[in-house]
Each structure stands twice: as C-alpha cells, then as structure tokens.
Amino acid sequence: MTGPARRFAAYYFFYFAFVGVFSPYWSLYLKHLGFGAFDIAVLMSLLQVTRVFAPALWGWLADHLGRQAVVVRAAALAGMLVFLPVFWVRDFAGMFATMLLIAFFWSASLPLVEAMTLGHLDRNTAHYGRIRLWGSVGFVLTVLGCGWWLDHASIDALPWLVLALLAGIAAFAWRLPDASRDTQIHADSLRDVLRQPAVWALLGACALMSVAHGPYYTLFSVYLAEHGYSKGAIGSLWAVGVVFEIGIFMVMPHLVARWGFLRILQATFWLGTLRFAVIALMVDSLIPLLLAQTLHAATFAAFHASAVAAVHQTFRGPHQAKGQALYTSLSFGVGGTVGGLLGGSLYEVAGGTGAFLMSAVATALGGLILALSSGTRDRSA
C-alpha cells in the first residue's frame, strides 16, 4: 500500500478496534457502575440512534467547507475530549449526556473517511476492501483481546483502554490527507440526484440489508445459547463470519474486475436470503450454520464494499460526503434501528425462527428492488 493508503488503513484499524471494545463490553462497565438493564439499553442505543441524523449533518458541513479531513480531525479530537467525563460521571443524566456527545462525534467520521478513501483511490475503488479490511482486523483483535484482558483485570480499567483507542483515532485522523476532488467534474445538483428513482432503489435496498442484520447483531448469540451452543462455540461462530469478511475484502479487486460492483451487490442480497433462511430453519445443525456464517463475507464485506462504491459513483463531485452520510444514516441508522426493534418484537412472539425469517424476507425484498430498478447500472463495468 502507498503511504496515504496505510494512513487510512491505520485509521480504520483504530476506529473498529474502538467498536470491538465499546459495543460488547461497555454495557458490562455500565452494569458495574450500578445501572439497570433498561438504563443500559437506552444508553447503548445512543450509538445507533445518532447514526440516523449525525452523519448527514457532518456530511453537509464537510461538503460545504470542501475540507473533509479538517472535519474528521475536529470530530475525532472532540470525540476523545467529550469521553473524559466518564471517569467521574455516575448518574444517568450525566452518562446520557456524555454518551450522546460521544456518539454524535464518533458517528461523524466514518462516512467522511469512506468518501476520502474512495476519493484517494480515484478509479481504483476496487482496492477499497484491502484498506477497509484493517478495520475488521482491529475489531477481531480487540473483541478477543479485551475479553481475555477483562478476565484478568478489573473492569474499572476499561475506560482507560477506550480512551487510548479514541486517542489512536484522533492521532491517525490528523494524518489523513484530504482526497483531491476534481473541481471540473460535471455533477448534477443534489436535488437532481435525489430525484432519480435508481438512487432511492439503491439506498432503500441498502437499508433493507441493515434491517436484515438487526436481529443478527442483537439476538444471534441469544438464539444460539437457547439452542444449546456453549459460549466458546458462539464466539467461534462469530469469528468465522469476521475471518471470511476479511478474506473477501482481500479479493474484492479480482471480483470487481470480473463481475462489476452492481452484479456483486445484487448477488449479496440473494446470498443474504439463503444465509438468514438457514439460520432461521437449521440452527440445530452445525455444518449448515457454519456455512451460513461464511456468507457474512457476502452480506457484510462484499455488500458494504460494493455499496460505498455505488454511492461514491452516484454522488459525484461536491456531493460525495453527503452521499456517504446519507447511505450511513439510512442503512446503519434507520435500517439498523428498525431491524433491531422489529427483530426483537418478532423474537418475543415467534422466537429466533420468526426473527431471522424476517431477515430473509428483507434481503429478498432488497434484491428485488435492485433487480427492478431500471435506471441503476454498474458504472465500473
């Protein structure tokens, strides 16, 4: 990788290393402080809720200023500074305000960095996966390493680890170059772009993929435990998904050269339908479940790499940060929130089978929308 590519890779590493510590373990720290289950659920939901609106605000600001890197640096530094009150805040209101600010600044960076990375790659967007895979590596190392560490250390030390990772994000944000944007490029107005049915077909399908993953990220471990899987087996099944995720990021350039982004994107929805149907109906059979987990390579890695490239090619010139922010808000924000809530409701009345069949239906609907959208085409072909 080139020097700038290594800086982007390092940023992704620390960004998702933070996710690998914060998402699984921060709720344990909150419980250690004495917060109840409902309070913890509310506090942890802030990370997801802010992704509905915050990326759009930051994306607009970055495109308006024309300085994406400056906004990323400011957000990363602010995210580290607003974390500091967790060392003395102990009441719900104070923790709510602190975590709301953390989530607001943390959610600002990723869509902008996606736009900067793709802008840096220019016509070589197929190589995005080889940079982004370092985020997956950071996640795996911290989610496994932190679990081992907390078995031997007091959980009171967790905020210091989180602060160190936020400092790493800020440090490498300061080294990110602003991707050069061709000011001569012809770009429709944002209003004209958003009037195209194919654009909403793309964004709607992406939101449905996140709806499908809502039960997976919130209830998959619970579902497995109810069917007799040990904690070690559950962790191994999660790890299988991430390992194959990293593998697909590495080979994405070869896949794109042969099939193009749009065909890969469409295929991820049909593979997602298969994956979630197997999880719903064959959870008691280990081999089919393992094979379903390998498809995380399609439903997350190949999907995300293809989706950010499609958004990058659709929102051209001065709209790139706004496009990535809109993709993040609608897919991970709205889609992820709806999927989690809908999956939880279905789980109560129909168990994991009902929740994951909903996931299969969501991916099938997303694939159908993409297939029927007449104006969408793969510009990278």
Residues 6+ apart with CB under 8 A from 321: 58, 59, 60, 62, 63, 68, 111, 112, 115
pLDDT, position 181: 52
For 127-161, what is each residue's pLDDT tens digit?
777 888 898 899 888 878 887 787 787 889 899 99
Reduced to 3 states, what is the DSSP secondary structure of residue 328?
Answer: helix
- Do 3-173 and 190-372 show the same overall fold? yes
For 256-288, what is each residue's pLDDT tens digit?
888 888 889 999 999 999 999 999 999 999 999
pLDDT, position 89: 92
User: Domain segments of the chain: what residues?
Assistant: 3-173, 190-372
3-173 sits in which CATH class?
Answer: mainly alpha
pLDDT, position 207: 92
Give the span between the Cα atoms of 18 and 44, in whole angstroms.
14
> Residue 95: pLDDT band by 50, 70, 90 thresholds?
very high
Closest to 272 (Cα-Cα) out of 327, 324, 330, 339: 339
| Superfamily of domain 190-372 in the CATH hierarchy | MFS general substrate transporter like domains (1.20.1250.20)
Does the structure show a pLDDT above 60 at 71?
A: yes
Question: Quick one: tokens of 356?
Answer: 């994951």
Are the beta carbons of 331 and 307 closer than 8 angstroms? yes
Alpha helices in the chain (DSSP H): 3-32, 37-65, 68-83, 92-121, 128-150, 158-173, 190-194, 197-226, 231-259, 261-281, 286-294, 296, 303-314, 320-328, 336-372
Give the span between the Cα atoms of 305 and 127, in whole angstroms.
9
Are the beta carbons of 121 and 128 closer than 8 angstroms? yes
Does the structure show a pLDDT above 50 at 60?
A: yes
Higher-confidence residue of 76 and 250: namely: 76
Question: Quick one: tokens of 273?
Answer: 């339908």
Does the structure show a pLDDT above 70 at 167?
A: yes
Does the structure show a pLDDT above 50 at 165?
A: yes
